[in-house]
Amino acid sequence: MRPLLLLAAPALFAANMVAARWAQQADIPPLFLAWGRWMLAVLLLLPWSGRRLWALRGPLGQAAPRLALLSALGMGLAVAPQYLGARTTTATNVALIFAASPVLVILLDTLLWKAPLRPRVLAGLAMALAGVVVILTRGEAHALVGLAFGSGDLWVVLAAAGWALYTLLSRRRPLPPLPGDVRLLALMLGGVLALSPFALGESLAGRRPDFGDPAVYTALGFLALVPSLGAYFLYDRLIALAGAGGASSSMYLVPVYAALLAWPLLGEAPHSFHLAGLALILPGVALARGGEGGVPLFGFILLPWERRRA
């Protein structure tokens, strides 16, 4: 079961990026897409977990400020700019930029909480951020000199920063212990509330979905079931079986899956700058995470065998 989860969880996360790009090609408004994804996921999970959510309203109410902040970051800022960026950048770019989010966690931890930054971690940060720059500039040095980055990629950088802050605050300012499904439902409800004003503003500005187009329901249904409910539940299960280090290391596969899915489904062939960025980001993240006791690059492949041997 563990090896299957190690391979399946990152595939479901990668599917979000490919589906987001497809939805933009179908001209589905990005803020509506982000809001509708969580709204539908809430409606699907509510019959199963709503009673337990109500029973735990006391601890949830006491943690309301932290819950609102985590929801706004993890379900709002980490998602909506990603969908805005998907209008003008590729699914592979989205995945590769997000692959560097673990180093952003370390960087923010150093800046905000004065966490020590050892030389090995610093080297990993430099490698991974260099890989992001390669992606942002498409491997063209003149783009770096003129700061001529694609706007879509910059939206994705903002989303990756939101996810990094969410990850860091989940560790530094955690919610009270809750069942996994209740925690997810509470965060998704918070995400719906956080995104509602932006989705409404988008609608008032004239960007409305065509509810007669089946693509709207296909995109929302897929995003609610696969990357919203499916990926989060598999990832929680993976943490329980392989530990946080093994689970996080499986995310190294996300950009690989995204590139493999985007090529046949969206016609987005990988380029040499994607490979160059990948060659810098993944070892850089592994070096930085290894410096803080993380699992080495592709160490998740060895975890089941190592544990059996032990």
The whole-number pLDDT of residue 66 equals 95
Q: How far is CA 205 from CA 9, 13, 106, 127, 227, in A?
A: 37, 31, 38, 41, 28
The whole-number pLDDT of residue 246 equals 59
The whole-number pLDDT of residue 81 equals 94
Cα 32–Cα 34–Cα 39 angle in degrees, nearest 5: 85
Q: Identify the weakest region by mean pLDDT among 76-90, 207-221, 229-243.
A: 229-243
The whole-number pLDDT of residue 75 equals 94
Confidence of residue 133 (pLDDT cuts 50, 70, 90): confident
Side chain identity at 29, as an amino acid letter?
A: P
Domain ranges of the chain: 2-309
Per-residue pLDDT tens digits for 18-39: 888 888 878 899 999 999 999 9
Q: What is the phi/psi pair of residue 211, to 5°?
A: -70, -5
As a whole number, mean pLDDT of residues 144-169 equals: 79
The whole-number pLDDT of residue 280 equals 87
Residues 6+ apart with CB under 8 A from 83: 20, 23, 24, 30, 31, 33, 34
Q: What is the dihedral of CA 274, 239, 161, 140, to 10 degrees?
A: -10
**299 is written with which tokens?**
């160490």
The whole-number pLDDT of residue 294 equals 46
Share of the chain above pLDDT 70, in %: 85
Asked whether residue 14 carries a pLDDT value surpassing 90, the answer given is no
